[in-house]
C-alpha cells in the first residue's frame, strides 16, 4: 500500500502510529523501576530512623509489586494498545506516597498524640482497592463511548454525590469542611472525589452535542464573542452549583475544581477564548463574594496572606471563635529547611505539622526530606500523567473520548495545582488531597479509576486501524451537485 507520490502539503493531516507497537514491554520495564524506587526509599527511612532495614520491607515490596503486576496483566489482556506511561507513573506516585505515610507513622511525636492510628497499612489496603477498581474499569468498560449513553444520568449522579455530605445523618463535618459521608461499618467517604469523574462524563456528553451552538451562535462585542443567553444557561448553572458547594460545604478546592474543569472542557469544545475570560471572571466574583461573608474561608485567606500572624495567634491560644492554624507557616518552614537537596528520608521534622501531616500537608514532608530537587521530580511525574492524558485526547478519534480525556486530565492537573499551590502558599489553602501521594481512601481509589478510564480511551485511540479491504474503485462514488 506504500506510495511514491509526494503528498500535497496543503491538506490537513491525521496522526497514526507506525506499525502500532503495543509497548507493553516498555510499560513492564518502567513498572519494575517504579516499584524499585519506593522500596529503596522505604529501606532508606528504616535505616535513618531505626538504624536497620525495616522488617516489613519484603512484604511492602511484594504488595506494591503485586498491585503493579495485576494492573499490568489486566492492561496487557484487556487494553493492549494503551499508553505505556500512565500505569508506571501512577504506581510510582502511589508507592512513594505510601513510603511518606509510613515514615510519618514512625514519628515519635505523632505516636504520642491521642488520635494516632497507623495510616500506612490502611493506605496500602485502599491502594489495593484502587488497583482493583482500575482493573474492573479496564475489564468492564470495553468501549468508553458506552459512557456517552449515561450523559444525563451522570449529571443526576454527580449532583447526588455532591449533595450527600449535606444530608443530615450521613454527612460528616471534619475540621470545618463538610465533604465526608459516613457509611456505618465501613468508615468515611469523600464523594466529591468520585463526583469529579462522573461530572467529566456529563460535561463531555453535553458539550459534544451542544458545542456547535456554543461556538457559532454568538455576537461580537469588544473583540470577544459573547454567547447567546440560552447557551450561557448551563455554565451559569454549573457556576451556581459550585458556589453552593462553596457556601454549604465550605470546600473551596472542590468548587474550584468543578468550575475549572467545566471551563477547560468548554474551551476545548468551542475554541472560544471568551469562555476562559468569562470563567475567570465568574470564579473571581464567586470566590470574593463568598469569602466576604464566610468566616471559614476568611481564615484561610488570612492564613495565606499572613501565615506568621496566624501562627502567633494560634500559639498564643487566642479564642475569638475562629480556629487559627499554625500549619500553613509550619509547611513553609518545612520547605525552607529542606532546601535544594532535602534532609534525607526520615531526617526531617515535618511531623511537627501534626494531624494533617500525612494528608493535606504531605507535600511539606517531601519538601523537607527530598528537597526542591525531589518535589520538582514529583511535580514532573504529575505533569507527565497530565501530558499523557492530553496526548490521549489528541489521538482519540471520537469527540466524546477527546472531551472526556481532556476533562479528566484537566481535573487532575487542577487538583495538583490547587493542593500544591495551597501548601506552598501560592493560593489560599484548601482541603484537598494530593492525588496518589496523600493519605485518603476515596482519593486514591477515585484516581485509580480515573487512570483506568484514561487508559481505556488511549487504548481505543492507539489501536491500529484494521487494514482496509480491497478498494472497489473510489471514482465510482458519484457526487451529486445541487
Footprint (CB under 8 A) of other proteins, residues 205-234: 208-209
Q: Which stretch binds other proteins (CB under 8 A): 17-25, 102-110, 217-225, 239-247?
A: 17-25
**Number of shown-chain residues binding other proteins (CB under 8 A):** 78
Three-state secondary-structure class, residue 395: helix
Does the protein bind other proteins through residue 339 (CB under 8 A)? no
**What part of residues 296-325 is at the interface with other proteins (CB under 8 A)?**
none
Tell which residue, 413, 459, 359, has the closest CA to residue 110.
Answer: 359
Regarding 464 and contact with other proteins (CB under 8 A), the answer is yes
Among 25, 33, 233, 289, binds other proteins (CB under 8 A): 33
Is residue 338 at the binding interface for other proteins, with CB under 8 A as the rule? Answer: no
Q: For residues 77 and 315, which CB has a smaller minimum distance to other proteins in the complex?
A: 77
Rounded distance between C-alpha atoms, residue 71 and residue 373, angstroms = 29
Beta strand pairing status for 224-227 and 218-221?
antiparallel
Contacts with other proteins in 346-375 (CB under 8 A)? Answer: 347, 370-371, 373-374
Check if the beta carbon of residue 432 is closer than 8 Å to that of residue 415.
yes
Q: Cα–Cα distance between 394 and 454 in angstroms, integer?
A: 12
Rule CB under 8 A: is residue 345 a binding residue for other proteins? yes
Which member of 54, 65, 88, 431 binds other proteins (CB under 8 A)?
88
Stretch that binds other proteins, among 46-54, 113-121, 181-189, 266-274 (CB under 8 A): 46-54
As a whole number of angstroms, the distance between CA 444 and CA 433 comes to 9
- Smallest Cα–Cα separation from 258: which of 302, 211, 202, 212? 202
Which position has the grid cell 492530553?
390
Binding residue (CB under 8 A) for other proteins from 82, 85, 164, 332: 85
Nearer to other proteins, 8 or 115 (CB): 8
Site for other proteins in 151-180 (CB under 8 A): none
DSSP code of residue 426? S
**Shortest Cβ 377–other proteins spacing (Å):** 5
Does 463 sit near other proteins (CB under 8 A)? yes
Binding status of residue 277 toward other proteins by CB under 8 A:
no
DSSP letter (8 states) at residue 467: P
Query: Which one of the spans 100-108, 171-179, 230-238, 469-477 is the region binding other proteins (CB under 8 A)?
Result: 469-477
List, as one string, the DSSP characters of 277-341. HHHHHHHHHHHHHHHTT-HHHHHHHHHHH-HHHHHHHHHHT--SSS---SHHHHHHHHHHHHTTT
Cβ distance to other proteins smaller for residue 184 or 482: 482
Q: Which of 28, 35, 41, 427 binds other proteins (CB under 8 A)?
A: 41
CA distance 265 to 401: 12
Residue number, 217 or 305, with CB nearest to other proteins = 217
Q: Please give the distance of CA 220 from its chain centroid, rounded to a whole number.
A: 36
Check residue 114 for interaction with other proteins (CB under 8 A): no
Judged by CB under 8 A, the chain residues 376 through 395 that form the site for other proteins are 377-378, 380-381, 384, 387-388, 391
- The answer to whether 92 contacts other proteins (rule: CB under 8 A) is yes
76-97: b (≥16 Cβ within 10 Å) or e:
eebbebbbbbbbbbbbbbbbbb
Write out the three cell numbers for 193.
472525589
Contact present, 339 and 96 (Cβ < 8 Å): no
Compute φ and ψ for 143, nearest 5 degrees: -150, 125
Among 20-28, 195-203, 299-307, 314-322, which window interacts with other proteins (CB under 8 A)? 20-28
The helix/strand/coil state of 272 is: coil
Which residues 420-449 are close enough to bind other proteins by CB under 8 A? none
CB of 336 to other proteins, least distance (A): 18
CB of 29 to other proteins, least distance (A): 8
Amino acid at each position: 500500500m506504500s506510495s511514491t507520490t509526494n503528498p500535497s502539503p496543503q491538506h490537513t493531516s491525521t496522526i497514526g502510529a507506525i506499525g502500532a507497537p503495543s509497548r507493553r514491554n516498555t510499560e513492564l520495564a518502567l513498572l519494575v523501576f517504579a516499584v524499585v524506587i519506593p522500596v529503596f526509599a522505604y529501606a532508606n527511612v528504616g535505616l535513618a530512623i531505626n538504624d536497620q532495614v525495616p522488617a516489613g520491607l519484603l512484604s511492602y515490596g511484594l504488595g506494591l509489586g503485586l498491585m503493579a503486576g495485576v494492573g499490568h496483566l489486566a492492561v496487557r489482556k484487556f487494553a493492549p494498545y494503551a499508553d505505556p506511561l500512565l500505569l508506571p507513573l501512577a504506581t510510582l506516585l502511589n508507592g512513594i506516597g505510601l513510603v511518606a505515610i509510613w515514615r510519618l507513622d514512625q514519628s515519635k511525636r505523632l505516636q504520642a498524640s491521642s488520635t494516632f492510628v497507623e495510616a500506612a497499612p490502611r493506605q496500602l489496603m485502599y491502594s489495593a482497592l484502587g488497583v482493583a477498581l482500575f482493573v474492573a474499569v479496564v475489564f468492564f468498560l470495553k468501549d468508553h463511548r458506552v459512557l456517552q449513553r449515561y450523559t444525563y444520568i451522570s449529571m443526576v449522579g454527580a449532583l447526588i454525590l455532591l449533595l450527600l455530605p449535606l444530608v443530615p445523618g450521613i454527612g460528616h463535618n471534619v475540621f470545618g469542611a463538610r465533604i465526608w459521608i459516613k457509611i456505618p461499618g465501613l468508615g468515611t467517604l469523600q464523594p466529591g472525589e468520585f463526583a469529579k469523574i462522573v461530572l467529566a462524563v456529563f460535561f463531555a456528553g453535553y458539550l459534544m452535542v451542544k458545542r456547535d451552538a456554543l461556538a457559532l451562535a454568538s455576537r461580537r462585542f469588544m473583540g470577544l464573542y459573547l454567547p447567546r443567553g440560552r447557551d450561557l444557561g448551563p455554565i451559569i448553572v454549573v457556576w451556581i452549583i459550585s458556589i453552593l458547594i462553596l457556601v454549604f460545604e465550605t470546600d473551596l478546592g472542590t468548587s474550584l475544581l468543578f468550575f475549572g474543569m467545566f471551563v477547560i472542557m468548554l474551551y476545548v469544545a468551542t475554541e472560544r477564548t471568551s469562555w476562559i475570560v468569562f470563567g475567570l471572571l465568574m470564579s473571581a466574583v464567586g470566590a470574593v463574594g463568598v469569602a466576604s461573608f464566610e468566616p471559614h474561608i476568611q481564615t484561610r485567606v488570612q492564613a495565606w496572606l499572613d501565615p506568621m500572624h496566624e501562627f502567633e495567634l494560634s500559639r498564643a491560644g487566642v479564642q475569638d471563635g475562629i480556629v487559627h492554624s499554625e500549619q500553613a507557616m509550619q509547611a513553609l518552614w518545612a520547605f525552607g529547611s529542606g532546601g535544594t537537596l532535602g534532609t534525607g528520608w526520615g531526617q526531617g521534622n515535618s511531623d511537627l505539622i501534626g494531624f494533617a501531616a500525612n494528608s493535606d500537608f504531605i507535600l511539606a514532608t517531601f519538601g523537607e526530606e527530598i528537597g526542591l530537587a525531589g518535589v520538582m521530580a514529583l511535580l514532573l511525574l504529575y505533569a507527565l500523567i497530565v501530558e499523557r492524558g492530553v496526548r490521549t485526547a489528541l489521538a482519540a478519534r471520537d469527540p466524546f473520548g477527546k472531551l472526556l480525556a481532556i476533562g479528566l486530565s484537566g481535573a487532575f492537573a487542577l487538583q495538583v495545582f490547587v493542593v500544591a499551590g495551597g501548601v506552598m502558599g501560592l493560593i489560599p489553602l484548601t482541603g484537598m488531597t494530593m492525588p496518589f501521594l496523600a493519605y485518603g481512601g476515596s482519593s486514591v481509589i477515585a484516581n485509580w479509576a480515573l487512570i483506568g478510564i484514561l487508559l481505556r480511551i488511549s487504548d481505543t485511540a492507539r489501536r491500529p486501524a484494521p487494514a482496509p479491504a480491497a478498494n472497489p474503485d473510489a471514482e465510482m462514488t458519484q457526487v451529486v451537485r445541487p
